[in-house]
Amino acid sequence: MRFRVLVALALVVCMASAAAAQFGRGFGFGFRSRYPPRFPKADTFGVGFNFCRGIYTSARGEAGGQGWSTDYPDADLNFSIRLSELTRTRVKFNDDGRPDFVTIRLTDDALFQCPYLHMEDVGTASFNQREVEALRAYLLKGGFLWVDDFWGSYAWDDWVSEIGRVLPPNEYPIHDLTPAHPIYRTQFQITEFPQIPSIQSWRGNPHETSERGDDSAEPHFRAIFDARGNIMVLMTHNTDISDAWEREGEDPRYFYQFSPRGYAVGINAVLYAMTH
């Protein structure tokens, strides 16, 4: 078993690093220019996996965050490619060879075509009542939401308040995920949940992974479960898993230190979402 785990992790490193230069040079869209939303079309769904990112309104700003578009679109693009390479998941690609990832308004009926929904910087989110009701309906019908890249106690408290409007905490409490949970080993064996800083934070201090000092020293892997015990909402707090995907081709040191572990968490999460 230990040998298989090492081989699997080596495969992540080898396959992703072999392509890192390619996507860093020209296949990603580039983080400096704001890329517009990609709304679904009539023929978007039903062919293969689509990475769906939720659009929301931010009530305030967070250092290093860009609201719903944080890490967009290169995280969505690169993760979709790696998912197609490292698993047998059929990912939908467009005629230009790029994955057909989409952005979704929470009140859009197309939301219910997404078995997996991704959101970032959610410590700034402010849902209106229609969004609350739509997101609740989506989750109770079997949808899966993963929120990532929000740091510190202030962002956590704000997110808990918003998701509590969607799923009342007395009925749907938040739990810490321990290594005994299947998501730790859906495909890759995760022995320690990683704290991954943004590449900007890491470049400022490559010896520190906490972006908010003592207030974000411990990364959290948490979830809200449905009545059957399956995860409805996955929360990765005090870590930026998505930056390990977005920035995979920008700096080989950052890549080797963080990307294999970031992809391991991401692939486990999506495979869990698609099979539960």
Gap between the Cα atoms of 140 and 166, Å rounded: 10
The pLDDT assigned to 130 comes to 98
Give the residue among 226, 259, 233 at the shortest CA–CA distance from 245: 259
pLDDT score recorded for residue 72:
97
Q: What DSSP character marks residue 192?
A: S
How big is the chain, counted in residues?
276
Model confidence at 102: pLDDT above 90: yes
Q: Are 189 and 5 in contact (CB under 8 A)?
A: yes
Q: Kindly report the CATH number assigned to the domain that includes residue 253.
A: 3.40.50.12140
**Is the model's pLDDT at 6 over the cut of 70?**
no
Residue 41 reports pLDDT greater than 80: yes
The stretches of 118-176 forming alpha helices (DSSP H) are 129-140, 152-166
- Computed over every residue of the chain, the mean pLDDT equals 90
Quick one: average pLDDT of 108-132? 98
Q: How far apart are the first and last CA of the chain?
A: 24
Q: What is the pLDDT of residue 16?
A: 44
What's the rounded Cα separation, in Å, for the pair 197 and 57?
A: 24
Q: Is the pLDDT of residue 26 over 60?
A: no
34-43, 187-196, 200-209: segment of lowest average pLDDT: 34-43
- pLDDT category, 184, cuts 50, 70, 90? very high
Predicted pLDDT at 33: 40
- Model confidence over 228-242: pLDDT tens digits? 999 999 999 999 999
Task: Please report the pLDDT score of residue 5 as a whole number.
Answer: 40
Residue entry with tokens 């992540």: 12
Residue 75 near residue 101, CB atoms below 8 Å: no
Does 48 score more than 80 pLDDT? yes
As for how many domains the chain has, the answer is: 1
> How far is 121 from 148, CA to CA, in rounded Å?
7
Instruction: Write down the pLDDT at residue 157.
Output: 98
Domain residue limits at 96: 2-275
pLDDT digits (tens, 9 = 90+) for 123-142: 999 999 999 999 999 999 99
Name the pTM for this structure.
Answer: 0.89
- Please count the other Cβ atoms lying within 10 Å of the Cβ belonging to residue 188: 22
Q: Average pLDDT of 10-15?
A: 48
pLDDT given at position 25 = 33
Closest CA to 158 of 260, 67, 44: 67
Which tokens is 7 given? 């081989």
Lowest-pLDDT choice from 19-23, 139-143, 208-212: 19-23
Q: pLDDT-derived band of residue 64, with 50, 70 and 90 as boundaries?
A: confident
Distance CA 262, CA 276 (A): 21
